Amino acid sequence: MEESKENIIPSSFDEFVNPEPEKIDNDKLEKDTLEDRFAKERILWGSKIKNMSLKLSKTNLIVELMTEIYTERQIALEYYHYIISLLIKINKAYNKAYSEKYKFYSYHSQERFPNESSKNIRILSELADLKEKREILENHSKFMSSTVSTIDNIIFGMKTRVDIENIARGK
C-alpha cells in the first residue's frame, strides 16, 4: 500500500481517538470522516482484488501475478494487524471510560436511576462517539480479514489454473 500525502489512518492512537482540528489545506477543504476513509480503503482493496483476479484469468499474466500477490497479501495482513491494534486500544479506552461513568453514576451523581438498564443507556449515550469508532474499526477489520482470505483463495486458484492449463496442453 503506497503512502500518500495524507494518512488514511492517524499514526498514533491519541490522534485517532481525539483528532485535532485539521489545518485548512487548499487541496482539501473538508475533513473526511473515519467512515469515508475506510470506504476509500475498501474501494482500493476491492480494485486490487479485481485486478489480481483478471490476471488469474490470463495464462501469460500468472507469472506477474505470482510476484505481486504475496506482496499484496503481506501488506493486507500488516494493515489488518494495525487495525486490530487500534481496535484493542480503543476497546481499552472504551472500557475505562465506561467503568468511570458507571462508578460516577452509581456513587457520586445526584441523579438516581430506577434500574440498571436506564443507567447503562445513559452511559452508552455519553460514549456514543467512542462506540461508533469502535464499531467502524470492527467492521473494517472484518473486511480486511476477508480480503486476506480472498487473496489466499487466489493463491490457491493460481495452482489450479496452471494445472488446468497443463491439462489443456496435453502435459
For residue range 26-74, what is the model confidence (pLDDT) as tens digits? 344 334 688 889 999 999 999 999 999 999 888 788 888 888 999 999 9
- Average pLDDT of the residues in 78-87: 96
* 162 has pLDDT over 90: no
Could you tell me the three cell numbers for 4?
Answer: 500518500
Question: Considering the entire predicted model, what is its pTM?
Answer: 0.74
- In contact, 38 and 136? CB cutoff 8 Å: yes
Residue 2 confidence class, pLDDT cut points 50, 70, 90: very low
How far apart (Å, rounded) are the C-alpha atoms in residues 119 and 27? 45
